[in-house]
Amino acid sequence: MKYSRLTKEQFEELHQEFINFLATQSITADEWTEIKRLKPEVAEEELDVFSDLVWEGVLSKATYLENMSPQQLFLFQVESTQMSLISLKINNADIDITTAEGYAWLQKNYMDDSVDFFTSEKAFSEDKQFDIFSLIRQGAVITKGSLYQFFERFVG
């Protein structure tokens, strides 16, 4: 398995897609029940292959990611050969942007002297999707990029 297995909830959401995946391998519902009962290791492998296929699809479409901690905001834009980063650092330990109050403060005070902006670019490794997956494992979430696009006006 290249990425990580989908959660039970994710499998439930993708129930129809998983049925279609099994059908492409000519596995019927009855056969799947038998595989789970008699060959659990084969069932586990099928779940892993399906998970990787889902991750590949999701990661190939990811354009923006965000990762927020109490005093930092990392905004990533996925490009063809590299990733661009806009980072904000709040130099005030009393502000926690992961809370509603702290985030509201940031919305009003992003040009305050206590907010530092940084930008960076990094080329992807040989495995662009895995680079993106690594950011997700570290807490980043895929977004539509509205925050990145907003702050890009100030650092560009």
Domain boundaries, the chain: 8-61, 64-155
Per-residue 3-state assignment (H helix, E strand, C coil) for the chain: CCCCCCCHHHHHHCHHHHHHHHHHCCCCHHHHHHHHHHCHHHHHHHHHHHHHHHHHHHHHHCCEEEEEECCEEEEEEECCCEEEEEEEEECCCCCCCCCHHHHHHHHHHCCCCCEEEEEEEEECCCCHHHHHHHHHHCCCEEECCHHHHHHHHHHC
Tens of pLDDT, residues 6-31: 999 999 999 999 999 999 989 999 99
pLDDT less than 50: residues of the chain: none
pTM: 0.87
